[in-house]
Structure 1
Amino acid sequence: MSGGKLPEGWATSTINEMCNLNPKLKLDDDLDVGFMPMAGVPTTYLGKCNFETKKWSEVKKGFTQFQNDDVIFAKITPCFENGKAVVIKEFPNGYGAGSTEYYVLRSINGLINPHWLFALVKTKDFLTNGALNMSGSVGHKRVTKEFLENYGVPVPPLAEQKVIAEKLDTLLAQVDSTKARLEQIPQILKRFRQSVIVAAVNGQLTKELHKKNKFKLTELNISIPSLWKISEIGQFA
């Protein structure tokens, strides 16, 4: 990531300097943990994890391990490009496991706010450059470890990271709410069109016109020449 002069208190760093990548866990086999396959990882910014509870003994081998406040994201195409990523929250006993196609980022000594880090891996710059730095065969390309570790980024102080993350949550929640309301408009318009059509067919649109314009036959009290006569318009059609 590139840019101009950094704000006061910010510094340039790399993910490798900020985070441990795919750290391991040592837990009791009988401990309940969350198991989350790739399908359980949301693509939206405010999406939630979808997991099931399993014993640690069932998932400690052959899967990627993580814990609460870790940031995970898909490394394989097209899941990476689709933005599958999430901050691990509210897993049973604080731990979980899942697909081997995850990268797990854990802040070193708690110096990086997980929600700020999550916002970083959701940026267009990260996703675009990650997609350009993949290896593997067609359909099975993965973001390289080298790209991830060396990805440079301007880092604000920890307190500012928290403020940024909270503002993002608030603003994007408002965006989602607005989007949901806008998505209702086509259906509202469709119902309105149908109601107008029904009203037209049933005569409701001209109901007031009928009330205001009532006609009756009256004698035409005027003088006309002796050779003239009064006829209806229909006789000439």
Structure 2
Amino acid sequence: MNATLEAMARAIFRDWFVDFGPTRAKMEGREPYLAPDLWPLFPARLDDQGKPEGWEMGTLGDLIEFNPSEPLKKGTPAPYLNMAALPTQGSVADDWLERDFTSGMRFRNGDALLARITPCLENGKAAFIQSLPEGSVGWGSTEFIVMRARPPVPKPFSYLVVRHPEFRRHAIKSMSGTSGRQRTNKEAVEAFPVVIPSEEIWEAFGRIVDPAFDKIRANGEESRTLAQTRDLLLPRLMSGEIRVAEAEKIVEGGG
């Protein structure tokens, strides 16, 4: 389900902000394929630069804050994510643990993480942070780049950029350093060219993608609960301490 939800969000991201699908459809005289409240938000033609008329050209740094500063004193216990916790597919990175802060990149829920070092960048290690305790600051590897959408840009936009093939090629191409230790840097990915739509488009995009990623987060929480229940019950079932009927009663009773 999470893979389907993310695929839908990525398809909309590409259609609206890369392929300019609604504007091209209008230019070709095709029937509207978006909801009636969305269709009028898109320009009716492309300008001389090949972007929807009225939209601006910019860089990713105009839309996303890179490596935002967060207060976290050394020795403070905080959620920690290592590089191994970042998936190569999907957005979920739930394997955090509590560890005293020493040094590393800091982030909050709603931030995207991008691995900047070879081969992690090429392998697609990235995540969208959603599962930290409310209001907490997490931390992790110095080899993360933290990306936080600037309002009114919806928070999942930063993660959808991270998974965008053209962005990934740009980041990989910009890597430098000695063989085996090459890295991309904040300035290189910050300079990735983008188009900037109207605030109404951002609001409409948020109404679509925010619920999708809320559902991804909820699915992750449900999966963790099921895994904890499995880890509790399986050894007791295998040892004969309890039987299946008793296990079902424990699950139904919540513990």
Structure 1 residue 46: deviation in Å?
4.1
Q: Distance in 2 between matches of 1:125 and 1:19?
A: 17
CA–CA distance in structure 1, aligned partners of residues 122 and 169 of structure 2: 8
- Distance in 1 separating the partners of 2:73 and 2:142: 21
Larger Rg: 1
Q: Report the Cα distance in structure 2 between the residues aligned to 1:165 and 1:82, rounded to whole angstroms.
A: 25
**Any idea what SS the aligned residue of 1:136 has?**
coil
Q: Please state how far the C-alpha of 1:150 moved relative to its aligned partner.
A: 0.8
Q: Percent identity?
A: 28
Contact conserved, 1:69 with 1:87, CA < 8 A, in 2? yes
Gaps of 5+ in 1: 173-237
Q: Residue 134 of structure 1 aligns with which residue?
A: 175
CA contact (8 A) 2:156 2:213 kept: no
Q: Identify the match of residue 151 of structure 1 among 167, 192, 195.
A: 192
Equivalent position to 2:144, from 102, 124, 131 = 102
- Give the Cα–Cα distance (whole angstroms) in 2 for the partners of residues 63 and 29 of structure 1: 10
CA distance in 2 between counterparts of 1:46 and 1:134 reads 23
Distance in 2 (CA, whole Å) between partners of 1:111 and 1:78 is: 33
The number of residues matched between the two structures is 166
CA distance in 2, matches of 1:50, 1:87: 13
Alignment of 1:119 with 2:160, yes or no, is: yes
CA RMSD of aligned residues (A): 2.9
Which of the residues 41, 53, 65 maps onto 2:86? 41
In the alignment, what sits opposite 1:15?
60
Q: TM-score, normalised by structure 1?
A: 0.60
Code of the residue aligned with 2:66 in structure 1: it is L
State the secondary structure of the residue aligned to 2:65: strand
List runs of 5+ in structure 2 lacking aligned partners: 1-16, 20-48, 217-255
CA drift at 1:128: 1.1
Q: Is the 8 A contact 1:71 1:104 kept in 2?
A: yes
